[in-house]
DNA sequence: GAGTGGTCTAGACCACGCG
DNA sequence: GCGTGGTCTAGACCACTCA
């Protein structure tokens, strides 16, 4: 910075408008700026972001302030710090966070032993959003969405039947072939091919009985109890980007959740 | 501290033993010391812990180091910071974290509108731990445990049927009457009457079909799909203190989970 | 050895809660 | 007005990675 012993910059920058306290610490503002660059794709998933010193210089704040901003981004799993190497835009492709959003675990052993799922794409088509789908994805009824139905099998056993819907505007050209042949989690495909990174999700879980078609696809008797998992996934800025409705077999697997 | 410009204390204090890197930052050590005091009950749930300055003086470190230790404890929900007031030992009694471990939400409205659950204690007895229960609670088969069965109703509708097991040694004298008449969450009763604070839990969730007795207790037809939630709750130090097996109706409620 | 994130300190000032 | 936690800075040194 120019002069030493400078008074702290006016970090309560936002004008104190009526009705809004509108005080925002400097590090929150820096966090917002970094977030903007992430959204804008200035740094792609897996790439390093500038070092703390560089960012401090760019934003004219101390390293400690940048550090606190990055700390929060790391806590939200938007970036990953690696000592001695740098800070990286996080991605669903990393080994230890692969299948971050899939909480279904085999009762015995772990997912490594079990190996990756076998995907069968049953359907992949462009349709018009129903009122319900449109509401969830913050679109208008009748807007184009891509609808996919698939079955995931673990160790040869069909275990998950799911449908998902994606905004047509963001996933132009997504094909059944792509979905069937890409390697790794589907969310990695979304990152690489469509530049859409899911950063968080909300799930609503219920127990339901399999109807005839569902039972057939999962090789179960009709009426078998299934876990219904409705997931709404968001990109940056709380923009919903995928609605997914899954039915999970839970006779050999369970949904695992850690509370704290 | 005594002398200014002192070199930093040997914060890699732990002896570098063979095979273990055993480097632990100062703030982690401080965190451990605070944790010990929490476990020992030096400060009770709801009480304030000493101020950051006091702790810094006690441990002969800077306020910043204490701050970082407390930051982590706060992130783990063991303490709650309140600006201008102090840092408090967290408790299940606080309004905004009540029912922290109960993720079942009404489909419409929130839990405030719905009001508190009505508890019916069906059973509360001292029994000997089965092999399975003993393993989960890290006891020996045949050790005394308290077994409770109860039904929770929301708005008059029986919604949760659950059994839970507690180590007999830690819950001496727990009675059906206590369980029926106490106010607020049962985990608050555990804190106040038995000094046991649950700090985290792991849940395994499945879909199951109600058998005849279960169906009767929940006023449902036999075979109705139910969410099976097995929860293992831990106190400080990763000591398991409760095994709970719940069956949740999910026709008017859902299990809500946020992923990030 | 250079560069990155990680730790630690000391001191200043701000926002909040309460008497 | 005082004490609390919250923010910000500047500078030093440590641990890790890689060339």
Q: Does B208 touch chain A (CB under 8 A)?
A: yes
Q: d(Cα A61, Cα B170) in Å, to the nearest integer?
A: 52
Backbone angles phi, psi at A158, to 5 degrees: -65, 125
Report the share of chain B in percent with pLDDT over 90.
85
Long-range contacts, B219-225 (Cβ 8 Å, 24+)? B219/B157, B219/B158, B220/B249, B223/A209, B223/A223, B224/A209, B224/B249, B225/A207, B225/A208, B225/A209, B225/A225, B225/A226, B225/B250
What pLDDT shows up at residue A22? 57
What pLDDT shows up at residue B8? 43
Hunting for tokens 């994805």 — which residue is that?
A: A137
Strand order in the sheet with A86-89: A48-49, A86-89, A79-82
Q: Does A101 touch chain B (CB under 8 A)?
A: yes
> Does A161 contact strand D, using a CB cutoff of 7 Å?
no
* Probe site for chain A from B225, B247, B254 (most A CB atoms < 10 A): B225
Domains of chain A plus CATH, in order, are 9-89 (1.10.10.10), 104-255 (3.40.1410.10)
Shortest Cα distance, chain A CAs vs residue B84, angstroms: 17
Q: d(Cα B110, Cα B108) in Å, to the nearest integer?
A: 7
> Does A152 contact strand D, using a CB cutoff of 7 Å?
no
A57: left (phi over 0), alpha (psi -120 to 50) or beta: alpha
Q: Which nucleotide is nearest to A23 (CA to C1')?
A: C15
Confirm if B49 and B94 have CB atoms less than 8 A apart. no
Question: What is the sign of the dihedral through the CA atoms of B100, B105, B109 and B111?
Answer: negative
What are the distances in angstroms from CA A87 to CA A55, A115, B166? Answer: 11, 29, 45
Q: Does B200 touch chain A (CB under 8 A)?
A: yes
Confirm if A151 and A217 have CB atoms less than 8 A apart. yes
Gap from B28 CA to C6 C1', Å: 13
Q: Which of A55-59, A77-81, B95-99, B225-229 has the lowest mean pLDDT?
A: B95-99
Distance of CA A128 to the CA centre of its chain: 24
Residue nearest to nucleotide C17 (CA to C1'): B84
Under 8 Å CB-to-CB from A132, ≥6 apart: which residues?
Answer: none
Residue nearest to nucleotide D9 (CA to C1'): A62
- Residue B174, helix vs strand vs coil: coil
For residue A136, give the H/E element and its range.
Answer: helix A131-137
Average pLDDT, chain B: 91
Q: d(Cα B146, Cα B163) in Å, to the nearest integer?
A: 10
Confirm if B237 and B254 have CB atoms less than 8 A apart. no
Question: What is the sign of the dihedral through the CA atoms of A242, A247, A252 and A254?
Answer: positive
Note whether A202 contacts B259, CB cutoff 8 Å: yes
Q: d(Cα B101, Cα B198) in Å, to the nearest integer?
A: 10
Residue A111: pLDDT over 90 = no
Q: d(Cα B161, Cα B153) in Å, to the nearest integer?
A: 9
Strands A48-49 and A86-89: antiparallel
Report the share of chain A in percent with pLDDT over 70.
92
Q: d(Cα A117, Cα B217) in Å, to the nearest integer?
A: 39
- Chain D positions within 7 A of any protein Cβ atom are 3-11, 13-18
What pLDDT band is residue A6 in, cutting at 50, 70 and 90? very low
Q: d(Cα B49, Cα B86) in Å, to the nearest integer?
A: 7
pLDDT digits (tens, 9 = 90+) for B2-43: 333 344 444 444 444 444 455 789 999 999 999 999 999 999
Q: Supply A52's token pair.
A: 């703390």
Note whether B259 contacts A225, CB cutoff 8 Å: no
Strand order in the sheet with A118-128: A118-128, A144-154, A157-167, A240-248, A225-234, A200-209, B253-259, B104-106
Q: Which nucleotide is nearest to A83 (CA to C1')?
A: C5
Q: d(Cα B231, Cα A256) in Å, to the nearest integer?
A: 10
Residue nearest to nucleotide D5 (CA to C1'): B83
Q: Is the pTM of this model over 0.75?
A: yes
pLDDT digits (tens, 9 = 90+) for B232-242: 999 999 999 99
What pLDDT shows up at residue A161? 98
What pLDDT shows up at residue B22? 58
Q: Which of residues 13-72 of B touch A (CB under 8 A)?
A: none
Average pLDDT over residues A26-40: 96
Gap from B215 CA to C9 C1', Å: 63
Residue B227: pLDDT over 70 = yes
Closest-approach residue (CA) in chain A for B229:
A255
Average pLDDT over residues A228-236: 97
Average pLDDT over residues B107-123: 91
Under 8 Å CB-to-CB from A121, ≥6 apart: which residues?
Answer: A148, A149, A150, A176, A179, A180
What pLDDT band is residue A2 in, cutting at 50, 70 and 90? very low
What pLDDT band is residue A9 in, cutting at 50, 70 and 90? very low
Q: Shortest CB distance from B256 goes to which of A75, A77, A204? A: A204
Q: Which residues, in sequence order, are bridge partners of residue B157?
A: B154
For residue B67, give the H/E element and its range.
Answer: helix B63-75
Q: d(Cα A122, Cα B212) in Å, to the nearest integer?
A: 37
pLDDT digits (tens, 9 = 90+) for A115-145: 889 999 999 999 999 999 999 999 999 999 9
Q: Does B99 touch chain A (CB under 8 A)?
A: no
Q: d(Cα B101, Cα B119) in Å, to the nearest integer?
A: 17
pLDDT digits (tens, 9 = 90+) for B157-203: 999 999 999 999 999 999 999 999 999 999 999 999 999 999 999 99
Gap from A33 CA to C10 C1', Å: 29
Nearest C-alpha neighbor of B206 from the set B174, B178, B224, B229: B229
Residue nearest to nucleotide D6 (CA to C1'): B83
pLDDT digits (tens, 9 = 90+) for A40-90: 999 999 999 999 999 999 999 999 999 999 999 999 999 999 999 999 999
């Amino acid at each position: 910075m120019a002069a030493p012993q400078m008074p702290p910059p006016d970090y309560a920058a936002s004008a104190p408008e009526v009705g809004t306290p509108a005080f925002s610490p400097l590090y929150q503002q820096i966090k917002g700026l970094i977030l903007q660059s992430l959204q804008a794709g200035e740094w792609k998933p897996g790439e390093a972001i500038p070092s703390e010193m560089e960012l401090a210089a760019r934003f004219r704040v101390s390293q400690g302030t940048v550090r606190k901003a990055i700390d929060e981004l790391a806590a939200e799993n938007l970036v990953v710090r690696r000592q001695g190497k740098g800070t990286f835009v996080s991605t669903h492709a990393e080994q230890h966070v692969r299948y971050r959003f899939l909480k279904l675990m085999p009762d015995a052993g772990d997912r490594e032993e079990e190996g990756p799922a076998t995907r069968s794409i049953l359907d992949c088509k462009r349709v018009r959003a129903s009122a319900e789908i449109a509401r969830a994805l913050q679109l208008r009824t009748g807007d184009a969405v891509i609808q996919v139905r698939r079955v995931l099998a673990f160790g040869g056993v069909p275990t998950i039947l799911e449908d998902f819907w994606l905004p047509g505007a963001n996933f132009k050209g997504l094909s059944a072939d792509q979905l069937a042949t890409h390697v790794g989690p589907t969310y990695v495909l979304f990152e690489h091919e469509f530049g859409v990174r899911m950063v968080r999700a909300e799930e609503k879980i219920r127990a339901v009985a399999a109807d005839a078609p569902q039972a057939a696809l999962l090789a179960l008797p009709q009426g078998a109890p299934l876990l219904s998992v409705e997931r709404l996934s968001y990109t940056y800025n709380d923009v919903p980007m995928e609605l997914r409705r899954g039915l999970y077999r839970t006779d050999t697997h369970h949904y695992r959740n850690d509370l704290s």
